Structure 1
């Protein structure tokens, strides 16, 4: 296998493979896929289709549409997995610039939906959210920037990172889409933390973020402030802002240990639950399958995260380690935030449950991220056992 030369940081100089001593690749390594991770993702998607059928009012068209989206996302994952880390490194900055340009295009001619301007439409072809693409472009460009310099990063590198993160985050927040903007920023934060940021700088940045909270509060939209206040006391407006949280927690609690059974949830089937096939689908899961069903799904997510972390740990280049680690940790944040907001411990920020909630762009983005993860693992140089 040809050598992949990437800029390295600190002591992570790339070692040349021993000539004539590399072992033979398996069939999965030849097609650059990880069978364990792929199998876990397929199980999650199939289980998600079952939950979606119930959450979507037993609409077969909805499930078929989602299955079609999953198929497209799997093809994208396989294609992305064929790219070497060197190729990903070269495309990091162009992908970021294209993403920023599309976010600007959303501001100028984006399509409106549910009171927000977040979509671009190619008539007769596709309607998509450019902000979803930034969930991958952001860790790509920050990883590419940091791996060019000695690690841990110095103040100069961090200032550039803040600039790279700030532009798209402000554009996404202005759509408005606070949830996605925070996830995009989080993906970059994970890269910086994995680069070995010192605890002194981490503490200083944490204090700065805490000091900036009043400014953030003043610049939030009224409905965003109301979501935070509703989190503290949902009963203050039970028929308005508190409705979502009250109904979702009621559904979760009514499921008990074993649940009411598939298609038997009263909160979902009688349409008390808002957005039950997207953001609040976990409430349907909890009501119909109970605590046991929730734990099964959580175990499945845990296995995916653990496998992803193991794949990230095998990366041989700084760029690959930073990027892979950020992708899988951000995936964990998606799960945590969605379950947290449905259960009433986090504000409602519009984050879907990965590969279970209905959605096309988010599914493609998630599986493309896993394709990058598999590419980083499968393109490593194989040394003798």
Structure 2
């Protein structure tokens, strides 16, 4: 396993390129694991069930992988060792960066603040358009990582004046224990946690996590099972269940849909999605339609036309959603937050930057209407 400790200056911008060189020789996800460095203690997975013959069933996500001794599940970063199931990425950060919260994107959570973003290698689905495939679609031993335990993550967040820690870039459900332990420490130290996830997680792990995080952004890949099965190797139904649970548990949630040309951009699908969000969640859930750029296994497609994003946003508004945004198009008018009551711009943005805020204690500075979100 290629791991090391980094000095502070080197560590500040860790985003690992090592996986790029391995792209053509990726180790199959179900092959036997390498041994961890001597002296390092592994952390046991929080949610799994023991089966006969030293097998285990992972219960973190809906895949419920059944894993023989010395084998790994789909995400490639957990391993069965003698009937006990361990995460191989706890405290092993493969990406660390200070980001504006708008990059996640969260538009209704502490706008203008910064978040210490961390990731560990692995993902529990495989999107053909994955924007961070160099770390999400590789095993821990294939990417360079640094030892960064939860207490150190929180310390660095405070040191860099970050108001939150974001679990992002890869898939935090796949490094659940690392995320959970860091969120618990952060909560005690007054540093909030936000999760950027595909939403492919079982109920009990999600419930436990929501006790310690402030906000969740769910990447809703599409609104058809076909897309999830063929393009992402996942399922839509569990993601919808996650969104409903987040609403029930009153966890602040924003939704992002990356619009892939010709794949998930049909007006009827977008309308059905927007209607479902309004009826099953809330018209106040922020919905971000973001621009696709060619990546991973979909490099033959063009970037999403801006007109397509505008059509999607218009449909969302027609269906009664109050906060519909367009992303990855810096300077577009639909980056701004408008008051649903008076239609005035209460937050003006360009890219990840805040140009102007007209909010007074969570209320529109023009008419006093309360704007939903976490503002302080």
Report the TM-score, using the length of structure 2 for normalisation: 0.29
Q: Which has the higher helix share?
A: 1
Which has the larger Rg? 1
Report the TM-score, using the length of structure 1 for normalisation: 0.28
Structure number with greater CO (CA < 8 Å, separation at least 6) is 1
Q: Which has the higher strand share?
A: 2
